[in-house]
Amino acid sequence: MPATLSRLQLKRYFLKELSYFLKDSLEKEPSAKDHAKTIDLEIGDMTTPVGRSGREWRCELTIKSTNPEPEHFYDFRIVMVGFFSIHESVDTKTAKIIAETNAPAILYSTSREIVATVTRRSPYPGTLLPAVTFLRESEEPKQPSKRQPTPKTR
């Protein structure tokens, strides 16, 4: 299937907050730990229209690690803010669904790279945030859609 432009476009995004805490005091050289731990996350987003047109949106995404035990090498919190626009051909009800589902997903992917980069700077394995969905349960399709293969041309 050929790629097309999304009806939701990211105009700008900003790193609003980043905190990182390594639980090891580094009083001595740490022993090598080569296994990653499963990380528990608290994820919240606030996606709201900007103005009255229903075409401009602001999304604030917060991701926080929630593993209190010391075996989880570090704690972090990241807050991203993005400003988005939606194509004029989209009706306002659909625009709301598109913004609330896709805007935090776009910011999550950026946050994922920032967290991976920062945590790799410790003596322990970096954290790659797990894949998540921002699609609300009531919006999820009941049956997976079947994609038809693209015919090959010679």
44-90 pLDDT per residue, tens: 999 999 999 999 999 999 999 988 766 678 889 999 999 999 999 99
Residue 118: HSE in the Cβ half-sphere, 13 Å Cα cutoff: 18
Q: Which two tokens stand for residue 147?
A: 């994609």
Contact 103, 84 (CB under 8 A): yes
**Confidence (pLDDT) at 126:** 82
Which helix (DSSP H) or strand (DSSP E) does residue 92 occupy?
A: helix 92-119
Q: What is the pTM of this model?
A: 0.81
Residue 146 pLDDT class (50, 70, 90 cuts): very low
Task: Report how far apart, in Å, the C-alpha atoms of 62 and of each of 13, 48, 78, 105 are.
Answer: 13, 15, 6, 12
DSSP structural state of residue 135 = -
pLDDT for 140 beyond 70: no
- Category of 54 on φ-ψ map: left (φ > 0), alpha (ψ -120 to 50) or beta: left
Q: 99 or 22, which is more confident?
A: 99
The number of angstroms, rounded, from the C-alpha of 94 to the middle of its chain's C-alpha atoms is 21
